Amino acid sequence: MKSRTTWQFNPVRGEYQAGDPVPAQGTGEISAIDAFANKTMLLLGGTGFVGKVLLALALDRFPELKHLVVQVRRKKNMSGEQRFYSEVLQSPPLRPIVERAGGESVLRKKLQIVEGDLDQPLCGIPADQIEQLKGKVDIVVNLAGVVDFDPPVNESFETNVYGTQHLIELVKLLDVKLVHVSTSYVAGKKDGRIPENVPIESYFPLRDVPDERQFSVNQELKWYEEFIEEIRNTRGTNPRPARERLREGGMNRAQYWGWTNTYTYTKSIGEQLIANTPGLRYAIVRPAIVESSLRFPFAGWNEGFTTSAPLVLMGGEGVKGWPVRKDGPLEIIPVDLVASGILIVTAAVLCGKNKHVYHLASADQNPIMLPRLVAFLGMNSRYKHKHKKSGNRLANLWKAYVETQVITVESLQVRRARMHRGLDVIHAALTLGKTILGPDKISPYLKSLRDTRRQIRQQEITLDKFLPFMFHNSFVFETRNIREAAHMLTNEDLKSLQWDPEAIDWADYWVNIHTKGIEKWIRPVFTTRKA
């Protein structure tokens, strides 16, 4: 620290630092550059949040790759190829990469687009293209999945369970290796450190509870078929919409086994299908909550909706009470580190020096505690509402100058009840006023009250979805395997692939990278969606 040389701003540490940071050192047991040289990778789910960054990283840092085959689902009147070149390659994270590579025509030689859909046998890739891919592809990287926490159970099952079955068929047919991306939260409702060496087969979070329960994939598939059949048969007689019942059925089943939601439940079944397949050469990568990029392709890129984005947006709107654990970290990890991690694992798999499970998370090395994040949400709200010209002035003052608080779930319930009682009183007063003064004067107020109520309800739903990760459970995912893998790389590789969550300055990341990224990239999409 005692240096008098210039201090260049280091966006990662959020400080002006002396000189260049010391580059990471590796043993050179694995060379990613050699591993990727003249290899062909088949990428599924390359159009998603992580997928695009992974694609960008692979294209930008590894010109050694021979071909990159990307599977893209067709949309109504757009073929997969059209969609890829007009939507994906034109997206903000890939545009600078395309320019740096020398234009689209250069990349077209390296890229091959195949149409397909995970929901169909052999991932929906046409038979002639499968023949062509045989002997050409060396490794399949699967990022595709339904990431909604509580969708109707069929949506989740079709992609995350049956989709994985189709994926396994494809991998076996092509006789290649597999890198499958799952989530850290397959651990379910647990507390404390989650190791990476827990057996995948027949895992369920409540297995330590002494009762008769035994988990098996076949049994779940059977349950699912029967459940769908039952919904189908009672569609005419049951007054509740089928969609709601499917949603509830999935959540109940997940919680019966100890998972937090349908997403993690179906993802775990997908993992078990892979682990149960004899002879499969695979690695499962489990990222935690994936957030805005730290530096690649540029700091602050984000398009994930099932991340902390809804919470950051809510914080920006001035929510004050946050039910979080005082001693718990939030397991977040920037998307570019996830992409790096996946490529490191891919290189390890190609060299045959891989483990089966890799957590990609930050709290093991460098935890960011939840109360600090709550304070950041308050400061963002202060900044936004102090300079806000529109809206109610009193409300803006309240939102600007009252600090956010860490509260418990119990006091959250009390606050909510009080708020609703208050709104009820206002509603009653307005209705009374309407009968006395007539609808012309009062109706606009009633309408705005309705809007406020809808907004509050929406916020309550969002908050409840995140409670398992902020309040009910507190996880730290161990990341020994990825650290070991990164340490095996050559020094040359480590310039392109960084795994350094320990270097993140969370204050700077959250304030200057993440919050600004969300305000820039997510807020506009979110507002138009709501409208």
Partner 1 sequence: MNKAAFYDLDGTLLSCNLVTMHAYYARNDRSLIKSIYQFTKVLLSVPLLFGLDLYSRSLFNVFSFRAYRGMHRDRLIGLADDLFEVTLKPSIFPQAQVLINTTRDLGYRNVLVTGTLDFTIRPIALHFGIDEVICNRLEFKNHIATGHVLPPLLAENEKARSIREYSKEKGIDLAQSCAFSDSSADVPMLTAVGYPVATNPTRRLRRVALHKGWPILELRETSSIFPPFLRPAKAL
401 touches partner 1 by CB under 8 A: yes
351 touches partner 1 by CB under 8 A: no
Binding test (CB under 8 A) with partner 1, winner from 136, 353, 372, 420: 372
**Which residues 6+ apart lie within 8 Å of 290 measured at CB?**
49, 50, 304, 307, 332, 333, 334, 335, 338
Find the shortest distance in angstroms from Cβ 36 to partner 1.
33
Binding test (CB under 8 A) with partner 1, winner from 74, 353, 382, 434: 382
* 8 Å CB contact between 353 and 30: yes
Binding test (CB under 8 A) with partner 1, winner from 76, 240, 387, 389: 387
4 touches partner 1 by CB under 8 A: yes
Binding test (CB under 8 A) with partner 1, winner from 122, 206, 242, 375: 375
- Pick the stretch among 21-29, 368-376, 410-418, 473-481 that binds partner 1 (CB under 8 A): 368-376
523 touches partner 1 by CB under 8 A: no
Nearer to partner 1, 110 or 388 (CB): 388
Find the shortest distance in angstroms from Cβ 194 to partner 1.
26
Structure tokens at 21: 């940071």
- Pick the stretch among 199-207, 244-252, 355-363, 507-515 that binds partner 1 (CB under 8 A): 507-515
Binding test (CB under 8 A) with partner 1, winner from 7, 223, 256, 298: 7
**Which residues 6+ apart lie within 8 Å of 54 measured at CB?**
43, 46, 141, 143, 338, 339, 342, 343
Find the shortest distance in angstroms from Cβ 9 to partner 1.
7
Find the shortest distance in angstroms from Cβ 15 to partner 1.
6
5 touches partner 1 by CB under 8 A: yes
Other residues' Cβ atoms within 10 Å of the Cβ of residue 36: 24
**Which residues 6+ apart lie within 8 Å of 51 measured at CB?**
43, 45, 143
Rounded Cα gap, residues 148 and 142, in angstroms: 17
- Pick the stretch among 12-20, 145-153, 307-315, 338-346 that binds partner 1 (CB under 8 A): 12-20
Q: Is 287 helix (H, G, I), strand (E, B) or coil?
A: strand
- Helix then strand then coil, in percent of the chain rounded to 5, is 55, 15, 35
* 8 Å CB contact between 113 and 81: yes
* 8 Å CB contact between 28 and 489: yes
Find the shortest distance in angstroms from Cβ 351 to partner 1.
40
* 8 Å CB contact between 475 and 187: yes
Find the shortest distance in angstroms from Cβ 367 to partner 1.
13
CA dihedral 207, 213, 216, 220 (to 10 degrees): -120
Residue 118: closest CA among 176, 56, 181? 181
8 touches partner 1 by CB under 8 A: yes
Residue 12: closest CA among 21, 4, 3? 21
Query: By CB under 8 A, what part of segment 13-72 binds partner 1?
Result: 14-16
Residues forming contacts to partner 1 in the complex (CB under 8 A) are: 1-2, 4-9, 14-16, 372, 375-376, 379-380, 382-383, 386-387, 401, 403, 507-508, 511-512
